[in-house]
Amino acid sequence: MIIVTIVTTVILIRMLVEDSLFLLAFKKPFKLELYEYLMKKRLIFFVVVLAILVTSGFIIFENLNNNSGNESCSVNSDCVASSCCHPKDCVDKNSAPSCKGIACTMSCEVGTLDCGQGSCECKNNKCIAVIK
């Protein structure tokens, strides 16, 4: 998403530079109608791109502020596994996945909370996985 925002910004800057050059090159009155037509098209494009940039900025900001719900624990019992099968991380109970109807393999995967290899703990108000 960040790459899309950067590319779009570069396109907008390029358009502004081209518009300036176009205006300098075609100051003659008979070219004015063509220039106005192109400017209307570019204005519409500019508004659409600006709306996309603003929307993507809000989405990025919201995702940066969303820390997967792992900030709201006070005791270890507030924390649960972050996924249904072979979890490697923990989240607070409110962010727990719904595992209804999920079938997992019965294998004990290394580096996960499987088979008592680890547990979820609350440290500094964050749910963390402690792998043994």
Bigger pLDDT: 40 or 25?
Answer: 40
Residue 23 CA to its chain's centroid (Å): 38
CA angle 82-86-88, nearest 5°? Answer: 50
Out of 6-15, 38-47, 80-89, the most confident range is 80-89
Q: What is the pLDDT of residue 69?
A: 45
Residue 97 and residue 83 in contact, taking contact as beta carbons nearer than 8 Å: yes
What mean pLDDT do residues 41-67 have? 73
Count of beta carbons in the 10 Å neighbourhood of residue 129? 20
Rounded to two decimals, the pTM is 0.46
Tokens, residue 28: 């003659």
Q: Report the b/e string of 95-106 with b at 16+ CB within 10 A.
A: bbeeeeeeeeee
Q: Which residue did the predictor score with more confidence, 18 or 60?
A: 60
pLDDT exceeding 90 applies to what percent of the chain?
A: 31
Confidence of residue 60 (pLDDT cuts 50, 70, 90): confident
What is the chain's mean pLDDT, rounded?
78
- Is the predicted pLDDT of residue 53 greater than 70, yes or no? yes
If you search the block for the tokens 């923990």, which residue do you land on?
A: 90
Domain ranges of the chain: 2-65, 76-131
Residues 20-39: tens digit of each pLDDT: 555 555 555 556 666 677 77
Q: What is the pLDDT of residues 61-96, one digit of tens each?
A: 666 655 444 457 999 999 999 999 999 999 999 888
